[in-house]
Structure 1
Amino acid sequence: MKQPILQVQQLNKSFGSKQVLHDISFTAQKGHIIGLVGANGAGKTTLMKAILGLTSAQGIITIDGHPSSFDHHEILKKVGALIEYPSIYPFMTGRDHLKLFAKGANQSQKIQSVIHDMHLTKYIDRAAKKYSLGMKQKLGIAMAILNNPELVILDEPMNGLDPQANKELRLLIKAKSQAGTTFLISSHILSELQKVADELLILDHGRIIQETTMKALLAASNHYLVLSTSDDVLARKVLTNAGYQLTDNTELKVHVGAKANLEPILKVFEQHDITVLDIQHRDENLEDSVLKLLNKDQLEVEGQK
């Protein structure tokens, strides 16, 4: 296997007597998009700050084969980041911000390219104090990707973005990942993260409770049939009597396996003169799957007390 662009080994972090990260270990391969998911206070931002050398932690962090830490982070030149809120100077224009952060050769070309990629042209020469939340967010992301870093760490990048800007950001992240850039993205907007992430790290109480691919998590999630019939009240009764699990009181939603076999259900309906008017297949989304894992972990934590 190729050397990972990021490797985190047994990372621990405490604030006073409170431990907020517990033996965090994972790797990120070149060109992968990794979603970092968890409830508020799970340790996501602290983990990102530790990787970026913004806070001290115990453990080993390696970026492109080189160690990085709070007091030794030369390798972070290869990393771009947006953590919490972008650092915006109100009386500087967006372009001036980019000029301030541009490094290396071809700076003007880099600036113009990121202005185009992030759709900043209309307001890039305005003072940042006139920017909306979404404009500031887009500028912050632009600063993170400006110097074509090999690793980009984004904390809640979709905050303040409208649906069109979200779509544009998704397409840009995917294009850059295909060109070899690795992304570690924390977001509470799981519907957006589902559309872009290849892999997932799910944190709870400072621990990784699951490390998986998006495809594997969704494949293992629950599947349902949502039915509309000529007599939904009777249909609910006969399905329940036949041993089917109905999961909703407002619609006829039947829990089934990944490969739903309709024939037994249709036979039950035929026996009671029930006509099927419509059938929809519905899968759990990322939010459903994550909440189920977090609830399960919470029960286990409480059971250990």
Structure 2
Amino acid sequence: MLELSNVNTFIGRRKIINNVSFTVKDGSVVGLIGPNGAGKTTIMKTILGLTKFTGVITLNGKEITENNHSPLTKVGALIEHPAIYPFLTGLENLKLYSSNKIDMMNIVEQLKMNAYIDLKAKGYSLGMKQKLGIAIALLNKPRLVILDEPMNGLDIEATILVRKIIKQYSSSGTSFLISSHILGELEKVMTAVVLISDGRVITNCSIEEFEKINNQQYQLYTENMPKTLQSLNDYNINFSQSSNHIVVSRGALSSIQKILYQNNILLLELKLQQPSFEDLVVTSLKNHRGSQDEK
């Protein structure tokens, strides 16, 4: 559906996006994740033809260039703030972009906006404006939807509702590229992750691969924990303690097994530690910064 190849974006002489390459497949939900200032919004604006760039961006096999935005006709987007006119009603705002009345009213129903859709948008709360912006992005059955912080300002019920809609649309073949700092919610819908730092892609894989690659910590428990701690210290094995367990890296397991055997310590439990998705993201970013510092 969408492919970026060696894309660079500049603001003045400063390179903001550096050789970014990734793909968004049909029906996939790709999470674009990174710290503030990493370049997430700039990447989205670049895809939409809002900034000058070098490299190649193709949408459904057709190249997007500075003078050719025609491939974007089947793309819906919400970038930074909803593009709404405050002195028009919510419905009038939708009509400006809609080409299918039935589709438009279905989206109003899906997002549960009926109670206020005929009111002037200037009186909308932040959450109501956000839902209207999402509704605009979903109009006209887009093939690709780009959402920048779509959960911003939404209450719990609206967040769950938007999550269900994303899953519903993606199951019908619509692709999504979503940036969000609410990683717990993003994790529930995305099928792939593109992790960026300082304008560079540092991870680009499926969510399953991402979790597998980063699950490097193991918990172990023995029949004699004080002796185990002393033995690991004697052999300079790096470890940490979590409640009544010891947490070690995967690479240390072979040495630890030999140490336990030599000291007649019985291993009672060894299991993979399951960090949260947020922990995996933070660890990946720290590892990247560490490798950059070494260079």
Structure-1 residue corresponding to 2:19: 23
Change beyond 3 A, Cα 1:100–1:253: farther
Change beyond 3 A, Cα 1:192–1:255: farther
Quote the RMSD (CA, aligned, Å): 2.9
**Equivalent-residue separation in structure 2 for 1:84 and 1:224 (angstroms):** 40
Structure-2 residue corresponding to 1:231: none
**Equivalent-residue separation in structure 2 for 1:120 and 1:183 (angstroms):** 22
Change beyond 3 A, Cα 1:219–1:89: same
Change beyond 3 A, Cα 1:133–1:253: farther
Scaled by the length of structure 1, the TM-score of the pair is 0.82
Q: Is the 8 Å Cα contact of residues 239 and 249 (structure 2) preserved in structure 1?
A: no
Q: Is the 8 Å Cα contact of residues 12 and 22 (structure 1) preserved in structure 2?
A: yes
1:57-104 Cα deviation digits (max 9, x unpaired): 11111111111123210111110000011112222111111111102x
**Equivalent-residue separation in structure 1 for 2:126 and 2:246 (angstroms):** 40
Identical aligned residues as a percent: 39
Q: Is the 8 Å Cα contact of residues 239 and 247 (structure 2) preserved in structure 1?
A: yes
**2:96 aligned to which of 91, 97, 100:** 100
> What SS does structure 2 have at the residue aligned with 1:184?
strand
1:241 aligns with 2:234: no
Structure-2 residue corresponding to 1:186: 179
1:119-167 Cα deviation digits (max 9, x unpaired): 2122111211221111111110000001110000111111111222111
Q: Which amino acid aligns with 1:30?
A: D
Structure-1 residue corresponding to 2:127: 134
Q: Is the 8 Å Cα contact of residues 195 and 202 (structure 2) preserved in structure 1?
A: yes
**2:37 aligned to which of 34, 41, 44:** 41
User: Structure 1 residue runs of 4+, over 6 Å off?
Assistant: none
1:180-232 Cα deviation digits (max 9, x unpaired): 000011111111111111011111111111111111111233355598xxxxx
**Equivalent-residue separation in structure 1 for 2:129 and 2:228 (angstroms):** 53
**1:296 aligned to which of 280, 287, 295:** 287
Q: Is the 8 Å Cα contact of residues 218 and 285 (structure 1) preserved in structure 2?
A: no
Structure-1 residue corresponding to 2:169: 176
**2:46 aligned to which of 50, 55, 60:** 50
**2:141 aligned to which of 148, 157, 160:** 148
Scaled by the length of structure 2, the TM-score of the pair is 0.85
Residue 239 of structure 1 deviates from its aligned partner by 4.4
Structure-2 residue corresponding to 1:287: 278
**Equivalent-residue separation in structure 1 for 2:21 and 2:273 (angstroms):** 34
Runs (5+) with no aligned partner, structure 1: 228-233
**How many residue pairs get matched?**
281
**Equivalent-residue separation in structure 2 for 1:217 and 1:124 (angstroms):** 40
Runs (5+) with no aligned partner, structure 2: none
Change beyond 3 A, Cα 1:203–1:241: same
**Equivalent-residue separation in structure 1 for 2:219 and 2:169 (angstroms):** 37
Q: Is the 8 Å Cα contact of residues 221 and 284 (structure 1) preserved in structure 2?
A: no
Structure-2 residue corresponding to 1:230: none
1:160 aligns with 2:149: no
**Equivalent-residue separation in structure 1 for 2:103 and 2:191 (angstroms):** 27
Q: Is the 8 Å Cα contact of residues 10 and 52 (structure 2) preserved in structure 1?
A: no
1:122 aligns with 2:115: yes
Structure-1 residue corresponding to 2:202: 209
> What SS does structure 1 have at the residue aligned with 2:128?
helix
Q: Is the 8 Å Cα contact of residues 240 and 246 (structure 1) preserved in structure 2?
A: no
Structure-2 residue corresponding to 1:84: 80
